[in-house]
Chain A
Amino acid sequence: MTGYTYTVFIIMIPLVMFLVTGLLGMKWKPIISGVLGTIGMGISWILSLATAGSYFFGAHHAAGFQAIIPFEITWLKFTENLIIKMGIYLDPISVMMLVVVTTVSFMVHLYSIGYMKGESGFQRFFAFLSLFTFSMLGLVIATNIFQMYIFWELVGVSSFLLIGFYYQKPSAVAASKKAFIVTRFADLGFLIGILILSFVTGTFDFGKLTNPDGAIFASAASVSFLGISALTWATTLIFIGGAGKSAMFPLHIWLPDAMEGPTPVSALIHAATMVVAGVFLVARMFPVIHFQAPATQEIIAYVGGFTSLFAAVIAITQYDIKRVLAFSTLSQLGYMMLALGVSGYGGEEGLGYMASMFHLFTHAMFKALLFLGAGSIIHAVHSNYMYDMGGLRKYLPITHMTFLIACLTIAGVPFLSGFFSKDEILVAAWHHDKLLFAVEFLVAGLTAFYMFRLYFTVFWGKDRHYHHTPHESPLVMTIPLMFLAVASIFAGYIPFTELVTSDKLGFESEMNFAVAIPSVLIGLFGIAMAWILYKKESDVPAKLAKSWGILYTATYNKFYFDEIYLFVTRKIIFNYISRPIAWFDRHIIDAFMVGIGTTTEKVSYQIKGMQSGQLQHYAFMFVAGTLALALSMIYFLI
């Protein structure tokens, strides 16, 4: 059982790479940092694949996949009960996440060697990528919720650093600040949730928390606050933390802006790995949420469902290629959250849980592919905007093919990976709640439509005026594209129903054709609509947009959520809370301190004449004082 000690290296190699490239990188040629980081990441990747291979296909899954802790140390020991440990926790979802994170990270490292070539700060970029990978891996293998929180914050910091990579650009600085503040605000909820949860249960360990028999919660069930049980509060607050990282409505506002970072960063952090941390957190806490706080699970389902619809609608109207993909990410994350929200526990009931993890896996592959493809396009035409692109299929054949595969995958075309995972989610939603199913069904169509709107506009249509003839990216960038395309096609054939399930026991699942066929049809309908509207350039889309009038404008402006947030913070919080507090600080507290100072100064100005420099004045004062003291002593004491 303890044959997994080498998993420590999966985590430590990126950390060492971060330290080495971060501290020594500037002394070398930039390319050395890139190659070194990529090689280190490659080793981690191979080790992760080996771990997954021996964990999933090793000998010991007769009684389901048991959690293994190959390594654990006591990190902080406050009291006998309050111990914080650091360790490695291997169970199906964390092993799966190891594979996802290292695969995407390795591909992104390789791709970045080409994409970031010649940028100033090349070494810094690779150092931060390694830091991010280390933090993300530490997050997924956390043995206890506190370790997870520490790495959770580290992930937030590295995301902040990478969004603000082009720190000369004011928009990038603003975006990185926004991402940090919004996620940090959500993390406050997470922290309070952790404190409540550990207070009522007396432990941080996932192994004890997620035990489905719930013995640990026996004493906690009676604790309540405002008529709602403490566990519902705790899980809801923890979910707020997850919602912040996974950019669920209404904390979604940071993700579209985070696209200011370099495109490989968007692929790694804001599409494939970091944003699924929230989903992963909910999956990790799933037994707690499902058995102890069903109300929270309902909230998760509806928040996920709403986010997926909301983001899909906005994605239709956007023109920035990366923003379309960002909203698509939001929408897919909504799918995953919803699947967790509608899931039951164990066997066939746990279909949603399995589907969510399955979709997480396939989505990581095809969304990383889409972003890297978008990076390749941006690399070729030097613009983010779709109206600067057109007819690119002639110039970028490899990018075109891989992008098409990714679009087909996300649209749910049969036999590609997205089809399987999305189908499972729809089935799970169908069993739980018909309304959520209807929403997701609609979103499936919208997804196909906006992805193919993007595809047709960029790769078909007329040529634009380009600065130079667009050329295919170098091999170092196209190899990751091809690899991820292959992964997107075949990831659907991984038997997730037997590997990653809520109770760690496999179950048999059959294709539900009553759901699969309509969902394929609506996907094809979406593609067909995009074909009609965008294959050949015409003024029909513009006319349609005009006919929708105010609805279109509102959607194009993302339903004015940024403006609402700005209004609430600037106009209400700043004016009615911050300003009075600032006034109190400046005019009451500061004034008191300044008053002491000025009083001292004025008094000393008045009495400084006493220090005249005349020796005899001093002598006189001294004698007079002594006499006065002596006389008063005689008078009072005798």
Chain B
Amino acid sequence: MFEIDGLKKRFGTEAARPLFEGVSLQLRRGECVAIMGESGVGKSTLLNCMAGLEPADGGSIRLDGTELVGLDDDAFARLRRRSYGFVFQAFHILPHLSVLQNVALPMWLLDEHGIEADRRARAMLERVGLADRAAGWPRELSGGELQRVAIARALVHRPALVLADEPTGNLDPDRAAGVLDLLLEGIRRDGAMGILVTHSRTAASRADRVLRLSAGGLHPEAART
């Protein structure tokens, strides 16, 4: 269970108007939620607060009952390596690691090396259809393939929560659909929870719920007429 309650974030002094406040969300295992909103409303900032990469100015974030607001930097880093997966718009696959090594990286971070890490990474690559590219290098892959590697990397260590920021933003609609299917299917199959920030209504519609972020909080997206 991932729970956010009354989360508040402001930039600048305490007198400054909050970027958002009163953000609340409950997410169950196997559930995916899409967050939409106008540019500049703070969608990415909200993701960063959830990941402990930016401090929140109020409210609470709990993962499986553990309070995360107030955790120090190192503790949050250790939590991220165990319980979080990330998918970025620009893929951010490390160019000096092979495809297999990129996928195995989260396992390395958990001190799992060798055959088991390789086996899991290969299995993930098989799931995303890139088993034959395991020994290759990121520079040899297309954008769609790179994002599939990123999805494999996000899921390989079976995180509780996967945060994806515009995962299809750099892809054409055909590839976007395929990549999104892989991501959501992976999250549901592993019993993880997914939060998807996107501008794409098509992408958002694949989630179990669509929420809209505004300065006043997260609200269910009204059905589009």
Whether chain B is bound by chain A comes out as no
Q: A-side interface residues toward B, CB under 8 Å?
A: none
